[in-house]
Amino acid sequence: MQTKPFRIGTRASPLALAQALEARDRLMAANGLPAEMFEIVVLSTKGDRITDRSLSEIGGKGLFTEELEEQLVSGDLDFAVHSSKDMPTILPEGLYLSAFLPREDPRDAFIGGSAPKLMDLPHGATVGSSSLRRQALIRRLRPDINVITFRGLVDTRLRKLREGQVDATLLAFAGLKRLGKESVVTELLETADFLPAPAQGAIAIESRIGDDRVNSLLETVNDKETYDAVTCERGFLGVLDGSCRTPIAGYASRDGDNIHFRGMVLTPDGSQSHAIEMDGKCVDAKTIGEEAGRQVREKAGSGFFASWG
């Protein structure tokens, strides 16, 4: 019987802490455990500490997970809670994504200062975003506006917007909802027009392969619909690259035993893009995503991907 608290690893940002608390609360409810049986361990990651450059310049997505994963491997943590869209597609040996909490709204939120909607921004307006995917999609829809790299915590970005450093910014609606900041949103961008990042809106739990005590606990909160959708989206991402250096979008939705996937790759300037749609059975979720990735790579041709260098 477990007598020591389960140690939950998380980043230090308010959003990361909110996600860790959601995971803890769901585990408490599902297993009839008191709060004392969980200890939240906060770690600073390189991605949190370096905010003056884009992720692609300093090493990509693993910058938000490395410190947590080191302590998972060593056994100092029992599991770690992450934003799924921040997870590299290749994980350290011995670790895996063992559970996904029910997915929040996957859409991107537009927060406008000089105009309430992306298409209403004046010619030459400046939009700040840290995501290459969002930057490319914005440029695809509005090649006339200026897009700049814009990193930092949610509150930092909102403050910069209020100060007039940019005319607008985009953030994941799921994160704003988890922080209770939905009221700042001036437009929700529908997935049909503005495809989200693979796994956006889903909270992932990472643990050690073979740790049956921990993994049996985590299984109680795993949401199968989210698991299938994110598995499909990460399959697509893995075939194409899966780092923060590539503008890749993808979204899978389930309907009973069936899954529908839409994916897209873009050049950073948004001038070229290739999209794909595929349907199949949920049991084949990963294979569907991977096949979509192979087909879009073939359709785009090697020269298209070389331009990402």
Q: Which sequence positions are flagged as catalytic?
A: 86
Coil/strand/helix, residue 279: strand
What are the structure tokens assigned to 4, written together? 């020591």
Q: What's the CA angle centered on 230, arms 226 and 84, to 5 degrees?
A: 100
CA atoms within 13 A on the CB side of 171: 28
Beta bridge partners of 70: none
With 0-12 / 13-18 / 19 or more C-beta atoms within 10 angstroms meaning exposed / middle / buried, residue 255 is exposed
Q: Do 239 and 293 meet the contact criterion of CB atoms below 8 Å apart? A: yes
CA pair distance 223, 219, nearest whole angstrom: 9
CA pair distance 125, 169, nearest whole angstrom: 11
End-to-end CA distance of the chain: 52
Q: Which residues contact 302 (CB under 8 A, 6 or more apart)?
A: none
How many other C-beta atoms can be found within 10 angstroms of the C-beta atom of residue 233? 32
